[in-house]
Structure 1
Amino acid sequence: MHIDGHPIPADRAKGEADHQHIDFRFLSRTDADVAELQTEEVTDAAWRETPSLSDERLRDRVAETLR
């Protein structure tokens, strides 16, 4: 599990004041053939291959964890 907290500046277009944003990331590994997530129980999640992660720091952390 990785928790990332960072400040978000105010966005007048959205009517949002500046605030703290927290991302929770969970790493799971399986050899099973998982075709779909249970969308009625899980929101905004996806299976990803490590090389497809665009954030270099996160990609390096995931690769290190999987070694």
Structure 2
Amino acid sequence: MKVVVDEVKCTGAGQCVLAVEAVFDQRDDDGVVVLLDPAPRPELHDAVREAAMLCPAAAIRVEEES
């Protein structure tokens, strides 16, 4: 799995951080998403998919590796 974020789209809602704080954080000044781990461990994959689904701005893209 590869995670990609679009900081321009991010509205700072923070749903991604609530879903999986090991992968996402937010900048202190404006709340925009910070990607901590673009290739998360397999045990975090479900939570990362949920974070992408919950993002109101669709700023998180998950690329599944085959």
Higher RCO (CA 8 Å, separation ≥ 6 residues): 2
Structure number with larger C-alpha Rg: 1
Q: Is this a same-fold pair by TM over 0.5?
A: no
